[in-house]
Amino acid sequence: MNRKTLIIVAVSVAVLLGIFVLLRCAKGPCPLSKGKSGVSLSGLLNQAKDLQNKGDLLAARDAYVRLLNEFTASNEAQNWQKKVEELNIKLLFSSTVTPKSVSYVIRPGDTLTKIAREFKTTPELIAKSNNLADAKIIPGRKIKVWSAPFTMLVDKSQNTLTLKSDEEVVKVYIVSTGKNNSTPVGTYKITNKLVNPTWFKSGAVIPAGSADNVLGTRWMGFDLAGYGIHGTTEPQNLGKQVTAGCVRLGNPDVEELYTIIPTGTEVTIID
């Protein structure tokens, strides 16, 4: 085989290998990819999955965050972001102490409400993250308490609500906002919270659980009369501008937020 033929064969093999890699990467994570720091995509992804399977939620979350930072252009980035959000919520609702929470020793005279007020969190979140069946607590026991503040950002152009803690994204929710762009822009605070709210509509009283009660299962009112965040009886309209001005979430999502968000939490709404 002469030199020219060898060159042609080598080039052909390189081209075929390149096509194979492109096709393989188009179908999912590319095992030959290297990150910005030279880390292997497949190695880091396997590490993240192994950590999650072992129950090390914090380390698994951090591994998925690193995947997002190392492989920003990957077609799997959206899936990794969902994994990060899923693990963030699991961490919130678990007894794992994170940099945004503290290990608190219950003192005589403490109640869940008192502890929640001290750390600007919710009794529901303390109970859920410590697997407490009721409000009864025992002095001397150590419990996890979330201590970092939460904020929410509603983007009307995207119909999303982004939950943040210390400016880090915890989770992004799909919402409905006001028709004709009627949801007010600005920064507000959550001033009241209700479970299974009654809807007072133009003099009519529509009870909780009614198919006509558009508030769904939870209400979190703003310091702007008549506006707030609530559930829905029309989940098929999430992601659209269809409300009278409030922000709607699916009932499972609004119940999740209700557990996390204390009164006083800031909500910023942008166009």
Is 64 found in the same domain as 123? no
Residue 120's domain is classified under what CATH number? Answer: 3.10.350.10
Choose, from 83, 156, 193, 230, the residue flagged as catalytic.
230
Q: Are both 62 and 156 inside the same structural domain? A: no
Structural domain includes residue 12:
no
When divided into structural domains, the chain yields a total of: 3
DSSP per-residue letters across 148-188: S-EEEEEETTTTEEEEEETTEEEEEEE-BEEGGG-SPPEEE
pLDDT at position 154 is 98
139 and 190 assigned to the same domain = no
> In this structure, is residue 5 part of a structural domain?
no
List pLDDT tens digits, range 107-147: 999 999 999 999 999 999 999 999 999 989 999 999 999 99
Is the distance from CB of 171 to CB of 178 less than 8 angstroms? Answer: no
Segment 86-99 shows an average pLDDT of 97
Is residue 25 among the annotated active site residues? no
Same domain, 105 and 211: no
Q: Is residue 202 in a domain?
A: yes
Q: Is residue 118 part of a domain?
A: yes
**pLDDT of the residue at 43:** 93
Confidence of residue 8 (pLDDT cuts 50, 70, 90): low
Same-domain pairing of 215 and 161: yes
230 in active site: yes
**Rounded average pLDDT over 23-41:** 67
With CA atoms as reference, report the closest residue to 186 among 164, 156, 215. 156
Are 123 and 221 contained in the same domain?
Answer: no
In a domain, 28, yes or no: no
Look at residues 264, 256, 185 and name the one whose alpha carbon lies nearest to residue 227. Answer: 185
Q: Return the pLDDT at 38.
A: 83
Question: Whole-angstrom Cα distance, residue 70 to residue 74?
Answer: 9
Specify whether 131 is located in the same domain as 178: no
Asked if residue 17 is part of any domain, the answer here is no
Indicate whether 128 and 163 sit together in one domain: no
User: Domain for residue 155, yes or no?
Assistant: yes
Residues 16-23 have a mean pLDDT of 49
Q: In this structure, are 88 and 192 located in the same domain? A: no
Q: Range of 116's domain?
A: 101-146
Domain assignment of residue 195, yes or no: yes
Which CATH number goes with the domain that contains 255? 2.40.440.10
Q: Which of 246, 249, 257, 267 is catalytic?
A: 246
- Tell me: do 137 and 165 sit in the same domain: no
Q: Are residues 225 and 244 in the same domain?
A: yes
Whether residues 175 and 211 fall in one domain: yes
Highest mean pLDDT among 1-10, 22-31, 152-161: 152-161
